[in-house]
């Protein structure tokens, strides 16, 4: 799983990499995993589809990401595991801008008693969604448990994913009038 988790790193972390450099490689690397996911376990399918779709969003292929996430969200409904659903729901909420989906994804994240490091993309997607709706304070609140857990455990991938959106929200909140 960690090997797949890291494939989209440049696109996901906002680390200053030009979008066109490496994107074709990342997408080509994820395609075989997506094909396997369609025949594999539900948790693997949800994880791969959400990672692939998150990468598609990062490179501007929004319609393709939405199509993949809607399909995967529907497939995840056949399983009674909220994490499968959340992996697809959060980036779908970000991609579509749906307030109802953002609220549902946020409620699912808040129901988790400890930060879900493997679900870093879900936190970041919900934060970006609220940020896009002009709610940077709400976005920061979503990211805080992930940032704290990442720092505490020393796991750098979730920390890297959450830092840039968190700073962006903090800057906007700092210049907002009272």
Q: Does the pLDDT at position 37 exceed 50?
A: yes
State the pLDDT at residue 98: 97
Contact 146, 158 (CB under 8 A): yes
Q: Which tens digits make up the pLDDT trace of 105-124? A: 999 999 998 888 888 889 99
State the pLDDT at residue 75: 80
Q: Distance (Å, rounded) from C-alpha 123 to C-alpha 48?
A: 17
State the pLDDT at residue 134: 93
Please give the structure tokens belonging to residue 110: 């808040």
Q: Distance (Å, rounded) from C-alpha 93 to C-alpha 100?
A: 8
Q: Does the pLDDT at position 13 exceed 80?
A: no
Q: Exposure string (b/e) for 6-28, b if CB count within 10 Å is 16 or more?
A: ebbbbbbbeeeeeeeebbeebbe
pLDDT range class, residue 30, cuts 50, 70, 90: low
Backbone angles phi, psi at 134, to 5 degrees: 75, 30
Of the listed ranges 34-38, 49-53, 54-58, the one predicted with least confidence = 34-38
Is pLDDT larger for residue 97 or for residue 78?
97
Report the predicted TM-score, pTM, of the whole model to 2 decimal places. Answer: 0.75
Sorted by where each begins, the domain ranges of the chain are 2-175
Q: Which tens digits make up the pLDDT trace of 128-170? A: 999 999 998 999 999 999 888 988 998 888 777 777 777 777 6
Q: What is the CATH number of domain 2-175?
A: 1.25.40.10
Residue among 38, 41, 45, 64 at smallest CA distance from 53: 64
Torsion sign (Cα): 109, 113, 118, 120 = positive
Q: Distance (Å, rounded) from C-alpha 63 to C-alpha 12?
A: 18
pLDDT range class, residue 97, cuts 50, 70, 90: very high
Is pLDDT larger for residue 38 or for residue 155?
155
């Amino acid at each position: 799983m960690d090997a797949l988790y890291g494939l989209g790193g440049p696109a996901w972390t906002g680390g200053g990499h030009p979008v066109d450099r490496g994107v074709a490689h990342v997408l080509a690397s994820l395609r075989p995993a997506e094909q396997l996911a369609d025949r594999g376990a539900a948790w693997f399918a949800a994880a791969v589809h959400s990672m692939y779709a998150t990468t598609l969003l990062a490179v501007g292929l929004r319609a393709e990401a939405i199509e993949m996430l809607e399909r995967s969200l529907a497939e995840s409904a056949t399983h009674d595991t909220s994490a499968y659903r959340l992996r697809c729901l959060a980036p779908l909420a970000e991609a579509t801008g749906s307030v109802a989906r953002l609220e549902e994804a946020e409620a699912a994240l808040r129901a988790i008693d400890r930060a879900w490091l493997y679900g870093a993309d879900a936190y970041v997607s919900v934060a970006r969604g609220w940020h896009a709706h002009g709610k940077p304070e709400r976005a920061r609140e979503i990211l805080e448990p992930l940032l704290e857990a990442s720092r505490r455990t020393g796991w750098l991938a979730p920390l890297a994913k959450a830092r840039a959106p968190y700073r962006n929200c903090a800057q906007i909140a700092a210049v907002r009038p009272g």
